């Protein structure tokens, strides 16, 4: 898989799951082919059946969408082997069996969708597009993936695809129209000749493997990582076409193979050039902005890059551009610019004072990324936290106001950390108390509250918090990271108890 389209999947650490899912899915398909062969020869199926089940299980545990591979056998039987037209009765019987197994699988998928339909639709509430818009857009995007696989546009590749919208997809509608028309024609003509049906299979394989991530799930519009397994069908298409031409005359095969080899070399060279951009965060961020000038994420990351080299004014300009490219609130813009100034020019807050309101309130905050970055900077003392206190006075509210806003646990904890680092410990505790009144079993919030109560010298109630946390630890209700954090307090409370005993 040397196509440039796969570079981000290979180099993006979290996408190791896609690679593993692809590997185990291919093993499962190989096992199916062996089981099919043995079944037609009336041999024992046990060994390869167990291998197939194990491989399929590992594929699904690697990445859940690998379950779509269960629909591949029907495509193999109808388009690649054309078992329904076979002369042997056992082959036709096998095809019928595969058909009914696949039908049960698809029916189960439809039942699950209907049962969780409200949850699927609710997932679009936090997306800038609706369910119908995503489905329509995917009709265009799937063919754009294919175009990117065979004729890659390097500058568009990477991880920033939040600039892909329905309007953008429509600009590439000609690719989708030609593509869908060709696929329909191939499927219609597939009964006429096995060569046509095998070409159709390669494309059908691609679309089947996109059957979950590119349909109903509320995921991002465009994501290159979804193509690792589906691209197996696209890669298979090239030798299939060579084989097709070979049936018309062997004289055509050598020049086609030569062209194919040259094409592979060019693909490898393009992938190597793309890898170079991934070798440096500065190169990568600049490259992504050049290819995605209207991407909110690309402009935001470039602003942070400029801030790290002292370009405060330029960083704020790109931050402003990012703001107007998105639907983020002014408060999130303020938080990001505060972080940029903290990185580049900690002593100069005039840009914030000139362009933004002096205070923000919790209901104005929507994105956790910016506030998390600012909190980390302040906790690391990259700039004086007291200089930012005036901008966050509006966050000092009572429990009733916090409940009305309905903040997530993560956002409440981030605001609590922000208030703590700027010296507003009591206000920080209000957020934690509110979170724990609704989610008393949230360990991380309880650990934070323990720390803040010690800092404001509420020793007696902090000791009670500590005892409750120790009980939770003894009941094995903590993660290892939470247990390690709690261990930092053991010596303190042992010393405190000894002091009280004396």
- 40, 69, 74: which is closest to 57 by C-alpha? 69
pLDDT in tens, 135-182: 888 888 999 999 999 999 888 888 888 888 878 777 877 888 888 898
Owner of token pair 């969408």: 65
DSSP 221: S
Mean pLDDT of 13-37: 89
pLDDT of residue 26: 94
Is the model's pLDDT at 84 over the cut of 60?
no
pLDDT in tens, 342-353: 888 765 555 555
pLDDT of residue 350: 55
Burial class, 364, CB count within 10 angstroms (exposed 0-12 / middle 13-18 / buried 19+): middle
Computed over every residue of the chain, the mean pLDDT equals 85
Q: Which residues contact 329 (CB under 8 A, 6 or more apart)?
A: 364, 365, 366
pLDDT of residue 379: 86
Domains present along the chain, CATH in parentheses? 4-281 (no CATH), 295-439 (1.25.40), 456-502 (no CATH)
Residue pair 436/449 in contact by the 8 Å Cβ criterion: yes
Owner of token pair 């754009």: 144
Q: Which residue has the higher pLDDT, 255 or 22?
A: 22
Rounded to whole angstroms, what are the CA distances from 311 to 173, 306, 316, 348, 479?
A: 40, 5, 9, 13, 41
pLDDT in tens, 288-337: 999 899 999 999 999 999 988 888 888 888 998 998 988 888 788 888 88
């Amino acid at each position: 898989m040397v196509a440039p389209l796969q570079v981000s999947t290979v180099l993006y650490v979290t996408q190791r799951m896609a690679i593993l899912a692809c590997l185990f899915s291919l093993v499962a398909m190989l096992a199916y082919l062996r089981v099919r062969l043995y079944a037609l020869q009336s041999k024992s199926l046990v060994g390869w059946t167990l291998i197939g089940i194990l491989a399929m299980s590992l594929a699904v545990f690697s990445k859940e969408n690998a379950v779509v591979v269960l629909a591949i056998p029907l495509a193999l039987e109808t388009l690649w082997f054309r078992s329904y037209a076979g002369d042997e009765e056992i082959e036709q019987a096998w095809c019928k069996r595969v058909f009914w197994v696949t039908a049960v699988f698809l029916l189960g998928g439809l039942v699950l969708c209907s049962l969780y339909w409200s949850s699927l639709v609710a997932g679009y509430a936090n997306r800038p597009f609706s369910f119908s818009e995503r489905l329509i857009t995917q009709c265009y995007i799937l063919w754009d993936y294919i175009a990117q696989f065979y004729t890659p546009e390097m500058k568009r590749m990477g991880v920033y695809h939040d600039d892909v919208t329905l309007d953008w997809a429509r600009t590439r509608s000609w690719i989708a129209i030609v593509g869908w028309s060709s696929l329909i024609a191939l499927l219609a003509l597939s009964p006429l000749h096995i060569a046509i049906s095998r070409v159709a299979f390669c494309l059908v394989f691609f679309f089947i493997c996109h059957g979950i991530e590119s349909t109903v799930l509320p995921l991002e519009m465009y994501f290159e990582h979804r193509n690792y397994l589906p691209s197996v069908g696209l890669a298979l298409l090239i030798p299939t076409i060579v084989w097709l031409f070979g049936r018309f005359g062997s004289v055509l095969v050598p020049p086609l193979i030569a062209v194919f080899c040259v094409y592979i070399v060019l693909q490898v060279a393009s992938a190597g050039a793309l890898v170079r951009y991934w070798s440096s965060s500065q190169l990568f961020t600049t490259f992504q902005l050049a290819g995605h000038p209207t991407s909110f994420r690309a402009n935001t990351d470039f602003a942070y890059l400029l801030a790290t080299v002292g370009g405060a004014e330029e960083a704020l300009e790109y931050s402003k551009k990012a703001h107007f490219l998105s639907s983020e609130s002014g408060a999130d813009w303020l938080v990001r610019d505060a972080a940029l100034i903290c990185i580049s020019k900690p002593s100069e807050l005039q840009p914030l004072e000139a362009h933004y309101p002096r205070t923000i309130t919790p209901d104005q905050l929507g994105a956790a990324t910016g506030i998390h970055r600012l909190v980390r900077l302040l906790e690391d003392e990259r700039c004086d936290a007291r200089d930012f206190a005036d901008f966050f006075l509006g966050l000092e509210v009572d429990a009733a106001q916090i409940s009305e806003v309905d903040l997530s646990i993560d956002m409440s904890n981030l605001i609590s950390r922000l208030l703590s680092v700027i010296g507003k410990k009591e206000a920080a505790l209000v957020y934690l108390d509110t979170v724990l009144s609704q989610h008393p079993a949230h360990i991380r919030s309880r650990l934070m509250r323990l720390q803040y109560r010690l800092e404001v010298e509420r020793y007696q109630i902090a000791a009670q918090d500590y005892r409750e946390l120790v009980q939770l630890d003894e009941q094995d209700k903590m993660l290892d990271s939470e247990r390690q954090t709690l261990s930092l307090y053991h010596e303190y409370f042992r010393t405190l108890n000894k002091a009280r005993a004396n």
